[in-house]
């Protein structure tokens, strides 16, 4: 669950993004079942490692994600998850589960010979960061999370069951319009039947409203409708729906249940006060009782990584972490 839009920024002195930067390393890592994972590194090759986990599921990385980190200090590792972005095969859900993604992160760590790293993830990226850290706590030095999504049915019900639609009834009406009235009791299942029907045109036609619903609610100010490339929409919608139809391949309440495995780690949670995609309740529950966690509730902000106050706070967090060593 994530939308990303680039913005211009210059200096980090006031929490602004760092200038654009090109990777010093790009590679494809071969995995099981024909998957190849696109990985890139930028910043300082000898710096403290930070692994960036993009949202979705299905989103992919973007050049703007490199710009939250001081390139003199951080060794920034970004990768496109299975089926996403430049990883291949595109939009494939074969052997594509949370456990597979955890295994891919391990493979990346081994290929790059990474010491314990900071995990930086928002939305679904926060979900994956928590799942990985709870599986491999020895491989993690800290977590920086944004727009927390815990992969729970209650969160999916909020977004796809009409809760968020009460605030945006006009946009909700557009989202449910392609689905017959007698199937609207379970919109994830209804869209799943169409996104995986085997007809490319039908899948793409239903992917666009799926993605448009999420994009429209990502920011505090509803954006004007923008063109969504059909191939991107299909890949994103299929992967996201695949995960949501399977409860993100997590046990109920798993990430809260297993939090004790990572409570020795420091964590900073940046949460938009008016996040309509991932409401603050989940961030609050995650932080409550975690001694090393700091919850920063950002006023007048929603869900998107590049909302000005959200972006500024994330840069400040990473700069402070760099200064602290």
Q: Which residues are catalytic?
A: 123, 275, 303
Residues in CB range of 87: below 8 A, 6 or more apart: 28, 35, 36, 37, 38, 60, 79, 80, 81
- Measuring CA to CA, how many Å separate 171 from each of 59, 99, 244, 257? 21, 34, 21, 35
- Four-point Cα dihedral 108, 111, 116, 117, nearest 10: -50
Cα–Cα dist 192/194, whole Å: 5
Yes or no: say if 134 and 251 are a contact pair by the CB < 8 Å rule.
no
Q: Enumerate the β-bridge partners of residue 120.
A: 52, 144
Chain centre to alpha carbon of residue 115: 23
Q: Rounded distance, CA 241 to CA 57, Å?
A: 8
CA distances from residue 184 to 176, 180, 190, 235 in whole angstroms, order as listed: 7, 7, 7, 23
- What does 64-91 look like in DSSP terms, one character per residue? GGGGGS-TTTEEEEEEPPTTSTTSBSTT
């Amino acid at each position: 669950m994530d939308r990303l839009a680039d913005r211009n920024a210059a200096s980090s002195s006031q929490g602004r993004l760092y200038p654009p930067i090109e990777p010093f390393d790009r590679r494809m890592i071969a995995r099981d079942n024909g998957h190849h994972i696109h990985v890139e590194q930028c910043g300082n090759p000898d710096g403290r490692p930070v692994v960036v986990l993009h949202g979705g599921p299905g989103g992919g990385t973007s050049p703007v994600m490199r710009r939250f980190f001081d390139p003199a200090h951080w060794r920034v590792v970004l990768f496109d998850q299975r089926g996403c972005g430049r990883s291949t095969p595109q939009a494939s859900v074969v052997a594509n589960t949370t456990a597979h993604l955890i295994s891919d992160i391990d493979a990346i760590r081994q290929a790059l010979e990474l010491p314990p790293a900071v995990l930086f993830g928002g939305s679904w990226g926060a979900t994956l960061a928590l799942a990985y850290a709870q599986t491999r706590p020895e491989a993690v030095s800290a977590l920086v999370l944004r727009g927390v999504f815990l992969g729970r049915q209650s969160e999916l019900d909020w977004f796809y069951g009409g809760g968020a639609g009460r605030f945006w009834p006009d946009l909700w009406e557009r989202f449910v319009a392609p689905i017959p009235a007698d199937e609207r009791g379970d919109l994830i299942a209804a869209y799943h039947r169409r996104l995986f029907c085997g007809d490319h045109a039908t899948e793409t036609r239903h992917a666009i409203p799926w993605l448009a619903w999420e994009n429209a609610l990502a920011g505090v100010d509803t954006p004007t409708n923008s063109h969504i490339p059909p191939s991107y929409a299909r890949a994103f919608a299929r992967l996201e729906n695949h995960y949501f139809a399977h409860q993100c391949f997590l046990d109920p309440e798993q990430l809260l249940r297993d939090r004790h495995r990572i409570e020795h780690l420091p964590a900073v949670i940046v949460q938009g006060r008016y996040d309509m995609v991932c409401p603050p309740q989940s961030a609050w529950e995650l932080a409550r009782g975690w001694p090393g966690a700091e919850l920063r509730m950002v006023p007048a902000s929603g869900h998107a990584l590049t909302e000005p106050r959200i972006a500024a706070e994330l840069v400040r967090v990473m700069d402070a972490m760099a200064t602290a060593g």
